[in-house]
Amino acid sequence: MRNYLVFWFALALIAVLNGTLRQFAYGPYVDELTAHQLSTVTGILLTGLAGFAFSRRFPIDASRTAWTIGIAWVLMTLAFEFGFGHFIAGKTWAQLAHDYNLSAGRVWLFFLAWILVMPYVLFRVQPGDRARA
């Protein structure tokens, strides 16, 4: 499990690179909401590919471990997002909460849901003869 907690830093780097891609590749050509939505989708895809590659090297041994990893990743993501966003980037709590407003088309919650379930998905799709409970 320790490998997966360290791997979260790679996921964070992927998220930063994904934001850079958004800002420079397609952000200037679409409205901000569309850029946010596209970025969420590409973030899910990129972290999923990285997670799949990582899980081939470090298979998850049990569904309980997978869920523990997912919960830890979500908590680490929220701590980083709100801690860095508020205390370093100087954003207000309202600004930080903006991306969680599904009724306004903000879909960041889907990324967090993916981060939660991704370890379990990786556990279920990894090869092996272990029982998948």
How confident is the model at residue 128, as a pLDDT? 67
Query: pLDDT by residue (tens digit) across 84-100?
Result: 989 998 999 999 999 89
List, as one string, the DSSP characters of 20-71: HHIIIIIGGGS-HHHHHHHHHHHHHHHHHHHHHHHHHHS----HHHHHHHHH
Rounded to two decimals, the pTM is 0.90
Going by pLDDT thresholds of 50, 70 and 90, the confidence category of residue 75 is very high
Rounded mean pLDDT of the chain?
94
Residue 2 burial (CB < 10 Å; 0-12/13-18/19+)?
exposed
Task: Decide if pLDDT at 61 tops 60.
Answer: yes
Among the ranges given (62-66, 72-76, 98-102), the one the predictor scored with the smallest mean pLDDT = 98-102
- The percent of residues in the chain predicted with pLDDT above 70, rounded, is 95
* 25 alpha-carbon distance from chain centroid: 20
CB 118 within 8 A of CB 47: yes
The C-alpha atoms of residue 14 and residue 3 are separated, in whole angstroms, by 17
How confident is the model at residue 57, as a pLDDT? 95
Task: Decide if pLDDT at 2 tops 60.
Answer: yes
- The stretch 98-125 carries a mean pLDDT of 96
